[in-house]
Amino acid sequence: MNPCDDLAGVHAALAALADPAARIAAFAGEVAARGGSMVLPRPGETWGPHWVELSLMGVLGTGDSGSEALTEWMACAARQVAYERCTVPSAAESLLTGDLIDIPFSELLSAARDVRLHSRNPDAIALAARIERLIADRVVA
């Protein structure tokens, strides 16, 4: 499973929980399992953080409360998943399905360059490198 799918799965699991306290508890479990962080203010202390900061899988959410920070984290996670899924153009997706018959090399090469330059998804970047190698081998041959 690629990181984008992992992030989408965590987001979906949290979105399915209606109770804010249950959502925060589930997020804390994901932080423990996946290695994120939760920075919480200490009531009554004037030194230290004054807001909640949640970080998991490269996505950060902040807010005045745990619920507000988690709402921001979920919105950022949803945007990240949408971005990563949109950076693999249809030509690159065709490589995954093996349906390359009608796609010109120039379109495949352009798709690979776009993915390599704009994606942070390691699977998408690996796919782009594979496309570029395949095209280079075909052009040289």
pLDDT of 32-52, one tens digit each? Answer: 999 999 998 887 777 777 889
The answer to whether the CB of 24 falls within 8 A of the CB of 70 is yes
SS3 label, residue 33: helix
Where is pLDDT greater, at 95 or 70? 70
User: Do 28 and 7 fall into the same domain?
Assistant: yes
Across 116-135, average pLDDT: 77
User: Do 119 and 107 fall into the same domain?
Assistant: yes
Q: Is-above-0.85 flag for pTM?
A: no
| Amino acid at the residue 104 | P
User: Do 63 and 99 fall into the same domain?
Assistant: no
| Amino acid at the residue 73 | W
User: Do 48 and 10 fall into the same domain?
Assistant: yes
User: Do 62 and 108 fall into the same domain?
Assistant: no
Across 82-87, average pLDDT: 62
Where is pLDDT greater, at 102 or 33? 33
The whole-chain average pLDDT of the chain stands at 79
DSSP annotation of 106: H
Percentage of the residues of the chain whose pLDDT score is greater than 70? 77
User: Do 74 and 93 fall into the same domain?
Assistant: no
